[in-house]
Amino acid sequence: MYRKKGIVIFIVIAIAIITCTVFIAMLFTPGKQAKNIVDDFYQYEQNGLFANSWDLFHAEMKNKFNKGHYLQDRPHVFMNHFGVNSFTYELSDVDKIENWKMANEMEPIEIVYKVIVIQTYKGKYGNFNLIQNVYATKVEGEWKILWDYKK
């Protein structure tokens, strides 16, 4: 009798360990991590913390515009011109893409993860959505954000 209970307890514990391991592994997949960094980026933007969001850019993005210009231009265009204080956003599922290029003339990045971001603005000119493909890649152990500049 005790032997059967011991086997049942062992099986229950083994199933619990396997379930926890699978759940934890799913939380730390590259796709989930990529989506998390995109979410972090837009949380910063939503809260007006543009210096923090700029810090998440890939080096090639930082070459597109310096930090000072970004800190002035981004809130000016997206908040002042639209007549809003903030926005809401939604993130799509993640797509893994191999050999992606940020611009036609650039070298490909081996692996990126694409997330479609839908920002919803409600302002003086009405309600509208801005839809953008956002890409994340891991550089030297850190996740970085890229935008598409292909023509």
User: pTM of the predicted model, to two decimals?
Assistant: 0.81
- Which pLDDT band, with edges at 50, 70 and 90, does 14 fall under? low
The DSSP letter of residue 151 is -
> How many structural domains does the chain have?
1
The DSSP letter of residue 89 is E
Whether residue 24 is predicted with pLDDT greater than 90 in this model: the reply is no
- CATH code of 30's domain: 3.10.450.100
Range of the domain at 10: 2-147
Average pLDDT, integer, range 121-150: 94
pLDDT tens sequence across 52-105: 999 999 999 999 999 999 999 988 887 788 888 889 999 999 999 999 999 999
With 0-12 / 13-18 / 19 or more C-beta atoms within 10 angstroms meaning exposed / middle / buried, residue 53 is buried
Cα(first)–Cα(last) distance of the chain, in Å?
73
